[in-house]
Amino acid sequence: MPNDRDGNDVVVGTTVRVLSLSGRWLDEIPDDERARVLSMVGETFQVYEIDSYGRPWVMKEWHGVDGRPDVFLVEDVALDADEMLVVRADEHDAGT
């Protein structure tokens, strides 16, 4: 079972705050995509999958990109333990 930076268990449905993103993959994606992915840092997401390597995946969606209501973008990333922190329900509700 994967853990966050503090050793808390992470399962599908767990809410996590993205603390950072790193890796060579980040340097290899186009600038506009990198900007979208990096905008996830500091935000909270619900884990939607644990892959076969034990890495939790989170996703962010954008609707109405560039003022066009028909444009819809999705970015998803797998997180390492040091890149996330479990957010408890009371912390999430308080907006922290």
In the chain, domain spans: 15-93
Q: Once rounded to an integer, what is the mean pLDDT over residues 73-80?
A: 89
Query: Which residues are within 8 A (CB) of 72 and not within 5 positions of it... i.e. 6 or more apart?
Result: 61, 62, 63, 65
User: Rounded to two decimals, what is the model's pTM?
Assistant: 0.82
Mean pLDDT of 3-13: 97
User: For the segment 19-76, what is each residue's pLDDT rounded down to a tens digit?
Assistant: 999 889 889 999 988 888 999 999 999 999 999 999 999 999 877 666 666 667 788 9
Residue 96 has pLDDT above 50, yes or no: no
Burial class (CB in 10 A: 0-12, 13-18, 19+), 59: middle
